[in-house]
A and B are shown apart, each in its own frame.
Chain A
Amino acid sequence: MRVDWTGCRAATLAVIVALGITAAGSITGQPALAQKLAIGVAAPVTSIDPHYHTLSPNQSMASQIFNRLVDMDPTAHPVPSLAESWKLVDDHTWEFKLRSAKFHDGSDFTAEDVAFTLARVPRVLNSPGSYSIYTKAVTGVQIVDPHTIRLSTAGVYPLLPIDLTQVAIISHGIGPDPKTEDFNSGKNAIGTGPFKLVAFKPGDRTELKRNDSYWGPKPAWSDVDYRVISNDAARTAALLSGDVDFIDAVPTSDLGKLRTNPKVTIADIVSLRLIFLWLDHQHADGLADVSGPNGEKLDRNPLRDLRVRRALSMAINRPAITERVMEDTAIPSGQFLPHGSYSYVPDLAAPRFDAAKAKELLAAAGYPNGFRITLHGPNDRYVNDAKIIQAVGQMWTRIGVQTTVEAQPWTSYIGRAGKQEFGAFLLGWGTSTGEASNPLRALIATYNAQKGLGTVNRGRYSNPAVDSVIEQAVVTADDKAREKLLQQATRMAMEDVAIVPLHQQKNIWAMRKGLTYAARADEENRVFDIKPVK
């Protein structure tokens, strides 16, 4: 059986819009069951082991059961969690003061558990994506007393507290080298978090119950049913029928109707995820994806000319994309982070749409008749991804750059994107750290395997001037001075059109009336933050 998933999805959503939401009869605030909560999430949790796979649904689940030393607030600023405070005692030593907390099995949380966790993270077997990327900066661990721990790093490493927001603390009482299976079965799923694991049923649901000895405020829910409902239309229907109280990843096409439904509340926030285009910076002698206006081979790569890159960026009408394609679930962007983040550049706005100026720039660069290009993108990864590249393709064609659009499934797309096969292609970047050094190091810095820089620099952008500012920033301990450098590097990269930023997505949750949620920029579902309206 061949199933056209894209068509499927579009049609199913149409059904919902056409029929379902007018109904919406049965969501009623069922007051008697106030302490039970059922939520429906789009992406399946694959393991309860918080160190097995760096996967955001698993991170979400870990947040219910475990705590980290440092946590992120909803707008991605580091805040105390199991560590009450932290400071640099010298250039390469961080000291963390730990709070009193109890694990689910009643044992006390101490510095021993932190040391145990840091030692365990790189030793997880068969991990397809290890959390050691967040702990590898730690070169030494020194337990000062049960509530003080010092972590040393090889050089100055100001980002350690932010890296540790990804690392869930497990109990050293579960014994050396705990197995992933034993987390899934519940045996090792012993954290300090607001909920205890009752049962994990992969692909179906996870059952949680309240941790009554939680160190923070008491969670509002005694029992939580955390269900996976991947199908967009079915997830919306589950909310409307009252089967679940809360859903994540609300599809854009259902959003308008849900907003006007008096029985539903929406929570949204501009996310840390930037959708952008890569242009090829590597192939100086031209590449297969780009040819002359009549299809003739070009002997140089027009995308390496700054004027061409600026023209292509300027030709895109970003507000039109966010309003019409994204239905206001995104905002135009000219940099990596949303307003209010650390190292956001205040006066770096989204590039202004100016088709006439774009044509002038193309002519000045020696392409008065434009050229031909293929724009690639996934069709099942980001919200409306295939529609976005279609829109961009039309806008480029209007300034004389005849664009062929090619969308394909993520599984085959991402491998090709990493091999520098494409001339122009769409990707997204979620800045997990909430500050600009993360995208600057991964996307903008020159590809360098020894230094671990430019890891996903898929357009192979390389600018030594930007590199030196980035490398200086990441070893600057002073927060203010580092922010200045990060802003400077961001500005340099964006003015050089290293990437073509399009928009920042919004994260959207929907819940029955009577609930509130502190919408999070990092896409996590935190059951603890779903609360009844007082």
Chain B
Amino acid sequence: MTTWLLRRLIQALFVVLAMTVIVFLGVNVIGNPIDILISPDADQAERARAIAALGLDKPLWQQYLIFLRGALLGDLGRSFVFNEPALQLIAGRMPATMELAVTAVLLSVFVGIPLGLYAGLHPDGIVGRATMAGSILGFSLPSFWVGLMLIMVFAVQLGWLPSTGRGQTAELFGIQWSFLTRDGLAHMAMPAFNLALGSIALVLRLTRAGVRENLPMDYVKFARAKGLSPNRVVFVHVMKNILIPVVTVLGLQFGGLIAFSVVTESVFAWPGMGKLIIDSINVLDRPVIVAYLMMIVFLFVFINLLVDLLYTVLDPRVRLDSSQ
């Protein structure tokens, strides 16, 4: 177990290192941040001053070494645009994205699994078929379009929900959260649903497929023959067997929801990390781009670890030993 964990962490470190090199080179190839940041009224002397102030006058390899030295000391540099430590900036935006992503995952679990179970148990019923047909829309419609339709219907036409923004927040553990206030929840409803839509459809279809696959299996027949109640058969035995793929997908989806909530966040003007990263890319704010991607790599590694650990809980046959 310890070797397995260590090996995973070392792998993660290499991925992060490779990623930072790629980002450094990539940003450099796209363009010079100064061209975008500096006022058009600035003269040549001011331009030279600004380039030096941001440390862009040194050769790229030196800039990279300076960054690495800082990173080892826990300093990922300051944002060119906000003049704040990049990490602090990202951490400040993280709660908004996290609560959106967690809500979306919860929605996928509590809407997707029950609907999938129903559709799997009643594959020929009208409701079952309608659910399946609807789920196709769930993952095939582009999320910016769905987001705008939601705004048009629920904010502009019906006036039930606020169109954009995060609304009122309340403090918990020193962090501002929207889900603690009524106004915040109202603001969260549409973006969370919009973000969750694809995952709900995915989980629903996986669950249904799992149920259809497992029902004819011997262990189900045996359980029934043994006289177990239908509920116990479905909710304990079948459920355990279909959850492995669902958990894998949810883990990956969760990472994706956090890292790539860009579209939803921009449509709903949600002040999260996705919005930050897209704004930063637009102005080549390299420290923020690097710090963000490093964090995302760690996040994915962490989520994969969790998923692997969950496997052992769900399926006792799975072992984490490196020998296997």
Q: Which residues of A contact B (CB under 8 A)?
A: 1, 3, 8, 11-12, 15-16, 19-20, 23-26, 40, 44, 46-47, 49, 52-55, 125-130, 132-134, 180-181, 184, 201-205, 227-231, 233-234, 237-238, 240-243, 380, 410-416, 418, 429-430, 432, 438, 442, 449, 452, 455-456
Is the Cβ of A15 less than 8 Å from the Cβ of B152? yes
Contact A15–B145 (Cβ < 8 Å) = yes
Pair A133/B41 contact, Cβ less than 8 Å: yes
Instruction: Give the interface segment out of B63-71, B228-236, B263-271, B311-319.
Output: B263-271
Whether A456 pairs with B267 at a CB distance below 8 angstroms is no
- In this complex, the interface size class of chain B, counting residues with CB under 8 Å from chain A, is 35 or more
B39 within 8 A of A: yes
Q: Which of A20, A234, A432 contacts B269 (CB 8 A)?
A: A234
Chain B residues with Cβ below 8 Å from A26 are 155-157, 159
Cβ-closest chain B residue relative to A228: B269
The smallest beta-carbon distance between B159 and chain A, in angstroms, is 4
Interface residues as binary, B34-78 with A (CB distance below 8 Å gives 1, 0 otherwise): 111111111111110110011000000000000000000000001
Residues of A within 8 A of B32 (CB): 415
Select one of A40, A242, A430 contacting B159, CB under 8 A.
Answer: A242
Is A1 within 8 A of B41, CB to CB?
A: no
Q: Which of A125, A129, A411 contacts B284 (CB 8 A)?
A: A411
Given contacts A243-B163, A418-B35, whether A180 and B275 have CB atoms under 8 Å apart is no
Q: Please, how many angstroms separate the alpha-carbon atoms of A430 and B39 in the complex?
A: 11
* A to B CB contacts below 8 Å, 25 in the list: A11-B145, A12-B144, A15-B152, A20-B152, A44-B279, A47-B83, A133-B46, A181-B83, A181-B84, A184-B84, A201-B271, A203-B93, A203-B276, A204-B165, A204-B166, A227-B164, A229-B269, A233-B148, A242-B159, A243-B162, A412-B31, A415-B32, A429-B40, A442-B40, A452-B43
Residues of B within 8 A of A233 (CB): 148, 267
Inter-subunit contact B35/A415 (CB<8 Å) = yes
B residues bordering A, Cβ < 8 Å? 30-47, 49-50, 53-54, 78, 80-84, 89, 92-93, 142, 144-145, 148-149, 151-152, 155-157, 159, 162-166, 260, 262-263, 266-269, 271, 275-276, 279, 281-284
Q: Which of A52, A125, A234, A414 has the most CB of B within 10 A?
A: A234
Check B37–A129 contact: CB distance below 8 A: yes
CB pair A455–B267 under 8 Å, yes or no, is no
CB pair A1 B260 closer than 8 Å: yes
Nearest Cβ on chain B to A447's Cβ, whole angstroms: 9
User: Would A415 and B31 count as touching, CB distance under 8 A?
Assistant: yes
**Is B40 touching A234 in the complex (CB atoms < 8 A)?**
no
Question: Which residues on A sit within 8 Å (CB–CB) of B149?
Answer: 15, 19
Q: With A and B bound together, what is the CA distance between A126 and B77 in angstroms?
A: 12
Question: In the complex, what distance in Å separates the CA atom of A469 from the CA atom of B233?
Answer: 92
14 A-B pairs besides A26-B155, A411-B283 with CB distance below 8 A are A11-B145, A19-B149, A23-B152, A26-B156, A53-B81, A128-B80, A133-B39, A201-B271, A234-B269, A237-B152, A237-B163, A238-B269, A241-B162, A243-B163
**Contact yes or no, B260 A129, CB < 8 A:** no
**What is the distance, in angstroms, from A443's C-beta to the closest C-beta of chain B?**
9
Query: Is A8 touching B156 in the complex (CB atoms < 8 A)?
Result: no
